[in-house]
Amino acid sequence: MPASDRIIINLGTGSGVINWANFISQCFNGLVTGALLALISSGLTIIYGTLGVLNLAHGAMFMLGGYAGWVTYTYTDSFLAAVVAGSLFVMLVGVVMERLVIRHFYTRPHEDQLLVTFGLGIVFVETVRFFFGSLSQTVPPPGPLVGITDLGFMIYPTYRLALLGIVAVALLTLYFVLYRTRIGMIVRAGIEDSVMVDSLGINVYKVFMLVFGIGAMAAGFAGIVNAPVVSIAPDVGEAILVQTFVVVVIGGVGSFPGAVIGGLIAGEIISITTMFNPAYSQIMLFVAMTLVLVLRPHGLLGQAGRE
């Protein structure tokens, strides 16, 4: 079959909308997309930074947060309760997972850690499918946040606007915990040098368990606050996981500020590429990551020896 027949059928790669109004809109939208990515990624990165474990079940944690929240919502009709329950449930899952499985993998090769967390991710996703099916479920945003807001340069869903604030508060809280509390000091010291923390007589295992819990909670929290935007389904975490990894790598593995900056950069790349050519938005993210890595061996803010 001549190649030209196929080209006619493939209408090409779609078309962008290139004008200044759209550019400003897309930049703003990139900020919102990026903020959420930053939150999920920071959970992944502090776990990796402290424990040296790359948690491939992180996407599933995000998904579990959404489902735990949704179940709570269906019983209580309260969005706040859903957020609290979603976060705490995933934190619990994280702690239990660390205690039962991950702990036995600290001394094993990195590849084993990847494999076991990958496997656990599948188990989480399929367990949810087993109980709740594949149909999408929706958690509506709290009443005052329904509808749209006119920002002047664009109209924007009110809840997504609020989400920007919610995520910012969550990131600040995480920052506060990491940089202003004793436990945060220990965690950050652990990122620098886990042997040192050990020698200070701190029970590293307890710290590890807590860090895993906090990291998982960040994903779970993101999962439930995102549920009114992207309705939940068992596979919701899979796509997020890959993007999260890109963010973490761009920012530098193990770096909390790196994850935040990486998230925002990723959000802007996706949005602005879409303006020019929607079909290339996801792939540009990977191209950008590869470029960053070729130019900066440890990502934007990473340190040597953390990979």
Partner 1 sequence: MQIKRPYLVELFTALALLLAPFVLPHLGFSPSTINRILIWGLFGLGFDILFGYTGLLSFGQSAFYGTGGMFAAYLLTEAGFPYVMLSIVIGAVVAGVVGYLVGLIALKRTGIYFAMITVAIAEVFFFAEFNPLSAYTGGENGLPGVPTPVFNLGFTVLKFDTDWTMYTFLAFWYFVGIVIALRIVRSPVGAILSAIRDNPLRASALGHNIHGYKLTAFVVAAIYAGFAGGLLATMQGFMPPDAFMFDTSGQLVMQTAIGGAGTLFGPLIGATVWLYLSDFFQNVLHLGPTWKLVLGIVFVLLVVFLRRGIVGAIDDLYRMARSDRKNTAEPVAASSEAKAAAVEAMPARRRDGAQTSGPILQATGLTKRYGGLAANSDIDFSVDHGEMRGIIGPNGAGKSTFFKMLTCEVEPSAGKIVFEGRDITGMGVTDVCQLGLTKSYQINQLFDRLTVRRNLMIAALGETRGKFKLDLFKSIRSVPGLEDQVERTAALVNLTARLDTPVSELAYGEKRRLEIGLALATSPSLLLLDEPLAGMSPSERVETVALLKSIARGRTMIIIDHDMDSLFELVGKVTVLQEGRVLVEGTPAEIKTNAKVQEAYLGGVHGEVA
Partner 2 sequence: MSRNLKSGWTRREALRASAGFAGAAMLPVMPTVVWADDKPAIGTWPAGSEGDTVNVAAAVPLTGSYAVQGADELKGWELAVEHINTGHELMKAIAPKVDKGLLGKQVKLLSADSAAKPNNAVQSEQTFINDNKIVMMTGSTSSAVAVALNKFAQREKILYLAGISGSNDTTGKDCVRYGFRQNFFGQTAAAAIGPVLLKQFGKGKKAAFMTPDYTYGHTVTKSVNDYLTANGGWEMVTNQVSPLGTQDYSQYLTNIANSGAEFLINVNWGRDAVLSTQQAKQFGLLPKMTLVIPYQIPFLAKEVGPDITEGVFAATDFWWTQEDQYPLAKQFVEAFQAKYGYRPEWGAENSYVSFAHWARMVSEAGSFYPPDVIKQYEKGETIPSLLGDVHYRPEDHQCIRPVVIVRGKAKKDMKNDEDFWEVLEVVPGEGLMQKPDEFGCQLGDYT
* Footprint on this chain of partner 2 (rule: CB under 8 A): 1, 5, 9-11, 13-17, 19, 21-22, 25-26, 29-30, 32-33, 126, 129, 133-136, 138, 147-148, 154-157, 159-160, 229-231, 233-236, 238-240, 270-271, 274-275, 278-279, 281-282
How far is Cα 66 from Cα 59, in angstroms, rounded to an integer?
11
Is the Cβ of residue 83 or residue 120 nearer to partner 1 in the bound state?
120
Instruction: Answer yes or no whether residue 165 interacts with partner 1 by CB under 8 A.
Output: no
How far is Cα 211 from Cα 203, in angstroms, rounded to an integer?
13
Instruction: Answer yes or no whether residue 239 interacts with partner 1 by CB under 8 A.
Output: no
Structure-token pair, residue 110: 């990195």
Is the Cβ of residue 110 or residue 206 nearer to partner 1 in the bound state?
110
Least separation in angstroms between CB 217 and partner 2:
21
Q: Out of partner 2, partner 1, none, which partner does residue 114 contact, by CB within 5 to 8 A per kind?
A: partner 1
Q: Out of partner 1, partner 2, none, which partner does residue 299 contact, by CB within 5 to 8 A per kind?
A: partner 1
Length of the chain: 307
Q: Out of partner 2, partner 1, none, which partner does residue 249 contact, by CB within 5 to 8 A per kind?
A: partner 1
> Measured in whole angstroms, how far is the alpha carbon of residue 250 from the centre of its chain?
14
Q: Which of 211, 199, 282, 184 is nearest to 240 (CA)?
A: 282
Select the residue interacting with partner 1 from 27, 88, 96, 114 (CB under 8 A).
114
Instruction: Answer yes or no whether residue 104 interacts with partner 1 by CB under 8 A.
Output: yes
Instruction: Answer yes or no whether residue 279 interacts with partner 1 by CB under 8 A.
Output: yes
Q: Out of partner 2, partner 1, none, which partner does residue 22 contact, by CB within 5 to 8 A per kind?
A: partner 2
How far is Cα 201 from Cα 216, in angstroms, rounded to an integer?
26
- DSSP secondary structure string for all residues of 48-109: HHHH----TTHHHHHHHHHHHHHHHHHHH--HHHHHHHHHHHHHHHHHHHHHHTGGGGTTS-
Instruction: Answer yes or no whether residue 192 interacts with partner 1 by CB under 8 A.
Output: no
CB atoms within 10 A of CB 283: 10
* Residue with the two structure tokens 């770096």: 255
Instruction: Answer yes or no whether residue 298 interacts with partner 1 by CB under 8 A.
Output: yes
In contact, 251 and 261? CB cutoff 8 Å: yes
In contact, 259 and 247? CB cutoff 8 Å: yes
Instruction: Answer yes or no whether residue 253 interacts with partner 1 by CB under 8 A.
Output: yes
Q: Which of 211, 265, 238, 213 is nearest to 62 (CA)?
A: 238
Select the residue interacting with partner 1 from 101, 154, 183, 189 (CB under 8 A).
101
Instruction: Summarize as ranges the residues that interact with partner 1 (CB under 8 A).
Output: 1, 3-4, 6-7, 10, 13, 54, 101, 104, 108, 110-112, 114-116, 118-120, 122-123, 126-127, 129-130, 134, 242, 245-246, 249, 253, 279, 282-283, 286-287, 289-290, 293-294, 297-299, 307
